[in-house]
Amino acid sequence: MDAFQIKKTAKVYDVVIVGSGAGGGMAAYMLSKAGANVLLLEAGGFYDPADPKYITQLKWAYESPRRGAGTTRPFGDFDAAWGGWQIDGEPYTVDPGTEFHWFRSRMLGGRTNHWGRISLRFAPNDFKRKTLTGVGEDWPIGYDDIAPYYDEVDKLIGVFGSKENLPNEPDGIFLPPPKPRLHELMLKKAAKGIGIPVIPSRLSILTKPINKDRGSCFYCSQCSRGCMVYADFSASSVLVNPALKTGKVTLINNAMVREVLTDEKTGKATGVSYVNKINLQEVAVQAKVVVLAASACESARLLLNSKSSRFPQGLANSSGVIGKYLNDSTGASRGAFVPALMDRKRYNEDGVGGMHVFTPWWLDNKKLDFPRGYHIEYWGGMGMPAYGFGSGIENLNGIIPGRDGKIKPAGGYGANLKDDYRRFYGAYVGMAGRGEPVPLESNYCEIDPNTVDKYGIPVLRFHYKWSDYEVKQAKHMQDTFEEIIHSMGGIALGKKPGPENNYGLEAPGKIIHEVGTVRMGNDPQTSALNGYQQAHDVKNLFVVDAGAFPSQGDKNVTWTILACSMRTSEYIIEQVKQNNI
């Protein structure tokens, strides 16, 4: 087969969707249920966590020769993400003096397969950042526009939580939350004692069955491995599967989309061109509507690579805004040892995948020296021992009295050391802040003029630096972590991060919450999409991933991707019915 001949398919689909994660999965679900003929293109392979071929859930560390170490998967050998910050043959570049790490999951369902299932709604104020604080940008829509879709997503997918009536953390339609684990009760008591709220977490995990297609949680704590009974949300299990069952969806895996095709005369999108990664055949497919959901940066890359004489700056980019305002959550963390938890009674406290409690943002930024908030996630407890277990004990066992009450020299070996591992098991806790950054025009991705991937597609070059806003926020996180740790009688581990390392602020991209690169807005001069995530310049082109979001709140964005994609899908159906696109 001549790879350089482009195969043109005759069929014209109603919609082609690029990407099968939260945004693309929801669009495929909504549009196929409405009767559209959908072509769903996914750059990675097929994946179904109920198929033994793919199951890693309930495996023991010793079933991995590296005992679960993250050599080929950044979050460990059993993690469900196929991909990572580096993918062989799919490079990206970074401008000197700046930093960005781009995580990609090449698989059906994308990054929803391994995510933390943290499912928070944006609050009304999250849509009005510029108006309220003078920095950042307002959304073209508000909470009232999106609230009905949050409700529908809650019912369709399922999320547990508790009614709290917090202005910054709107309540949803919740399943019952799991009770806290022991360390979580201790954290809660300690934090509340110093005025920091701790409430049940809000995760898209079924603590009760919601339909016949999905089971309910059996408390193995391994959502990040994918769930064989579909008790957690991943786009593959919960959205793409039922979409495929409609018979209206053609799914093509290993389809790496190169560009969006357009008609020079009408300026409308006519389909996309992709590389079949297995045989390197180039294929052009036709559709009446093109929906991009390839992830914030991948969708920006696609549009920037879709240049033509009519769209010389890339498609939907007359504003020049595509790629700009890239922003990832801030992140900083601290671990602690809790002597009161030594020599614990053993019992199964796996629970759901992730934390049972968290701290929503609780302060008023007007009284602080940084403009945006953060929430705190917690971990700890008696987890499955795996690679890394007991590491660094030499930093700890010299400051904790032995069974005889005496301090002994740190490190050591033999029966005494073996006993230390037993005593210390389950006595560690940790906490991490996840905060909202201020989106800046100076943080961006663009096409690198000198580099292509192995399919010959020009790659992204990143340019990203944290501002003072984020560094000050990280400082506040570190101070807060120490207060909580001290309040619970814990010993903070390691040296407290300070100005020498930006207070432990993780590099951009490390939290994997990037948004903003194809942002929506009312003004076509400063935004690429309108409030329905429809391109200002191309009426039949939509972007339903987080690239469309002008900001990300101190919330993880997945629930908002889902709600917005559902809303956009309804809009597409309505516009098609009215012959507007």
Q: Which of residues 378-407 bind other proteins (CB under 8 A)?
A: 382-394, 398
Least spacing, CB of residue 281 vs other proteins, in Å: 20
CB of 337 to other proteins, least distance (A): 16
Q: What CA–CA distance (Å, rounded) separates 258 from 303? A: 9
Is residue 194 a contact residue for other proteins (CB under 8 A)?
Answer: no
* CA separation for the pair 111, 400 (Å, rounded): 40
Whether the Cβ atoms of residue 382 and residue 424 lie closer than 8 Å to each other: no
State the nearest-atom distance from the C-beta of 217 to other proteins, in Å: 8
Using CA atoms, how far residue 215 sits from 59, 196, 230, 345, 350, in Å, is: 19, 35, 6, 31, 18
Tracing tokens 């790490």 back to the chain, one arrives at 101
- Where is 33: in which H helix or E strand? helix 22-33
Terminal alpha carbon distance of the chain: 37
Q: How far is the CB of 497 from other proteins (least distance, A)?
A: 22
Q: What is the dihedral of CA 385, 387, 392, 397, to 10 degrees?
A: 20
Q: By CB under 8 A, which span of 91-99, 175-183, 232-240, 494-502 interacts with other proteins?
A: 175-183
Contact call for residue 48 and other proteins (CB under 8 A): no
CB of 218 to other proteins, least distance (A): 4
Q: From 56-64, 292-300, 370-378, 440-448, give the range in contact with other proteins by CB under 8 A.
A: 56-64
With CA atoms as reference, report the closest residue to 109 among 47, 55, 154: 47
Q: Of the candidates 1, 4, 10, 53, which one interacts with other proteins according to CB under 8 A? A: 53
User: Which stretch of DSSP H or E encloses residue 568?
Assistant: helix 558-577
Residues 281-340 touching other proteins, rule: CB under 8 A, are 340
Q: Which of residues 410-469 bind other proteins (CB under 8 A)?
A: 410-415, 417-418, 421-422, 425
Q: Is 210 in the site for other proteins (CB under 8 A)?
A: no
Q: How many residues bind other proteins (CB under 8 A)?
A: 71
- Does position 178 interact with other proteins (CB under 8 A)? The reply is yes
* Percent of the chain as helix, strand, coil, to the nearest 5: 25, 20, 55
Of the two residues 71 and 451, which places its CB atom closer to other proteins in the complex?
71
Shortest separation between residue 425's beta carbon and other proteins, angstroms: 5
Q: Which residue number, 322 or 485, has a Cβ lying nearer to other proteins?
A: 485
**211: three-class secondary structure by DSSP:** coil
**Which is nearer to other proteins, 68 or 547 (by Cβ)?**
68
* 370 in contact with other proteins (CB under 8 A): no
Rounded Cα distance between 134 and 124, Å, is 16
Which residues have a Cβ under 8 Å from the Cβ of 232 and sit 6 or more positions away? Answer: 117, 203, 204, 205, 206, 217, 223, 353
The distance of closest approach from Cβ of residue 26 to other proteins in the complex, given in angstroms and rounded to an integer, is 26
335-354: contacts with other proteins (CB under 8 A) = 340, 344-352
Residue 181 binds other proteins (CB under 8 A) = yes
Q: Say how far apart CA 567 and CA 241 lie, in whole Å.
A: 20
Q: Applying CB under 8 A, does 64 fall inside the site for other proteins?
A: yes
- Within 70-99, the residues that bind other proteins by CB under 8 A are 71-72, 78, 82
Q: How far apart are CA 23 and CA 518, in angstroms?
A: 14
Cβ proximity to other proteins: between 183 and 324 the closer is 183
Residue 68 binds other proteins (CB under 8 A): yes
| Residue 367 binds other proteins (CB under 8 A) | no
Which of 233, 257, 269, 226 minimizes the C-alpha distance to 40? 257
Among 20, 32, 56, 569, binds other proteins (CB under 8 A): 56
Contact pick of 10, 52, 89, 449 for other proteins (by CB under 8 A): 52
Nearer to other proteins, 77 or 298 (CB): 77
Angle between helical axes of 182-193 and 468-487 (0-180°, round to 10): 110
Range list of β-strands (E), 532-572: 541-543
185 binds other proteins (CB under 8 A): yes
C-alpha 181/C-alpha 357 separation (Å) is 9
Based on the shown chain and the rule CB under 8 A, indicate whether residue 162 belongs to the binding site for other proteins.
Answer: no
Residue 219 binding other proteins, by CB under 8 A: yes
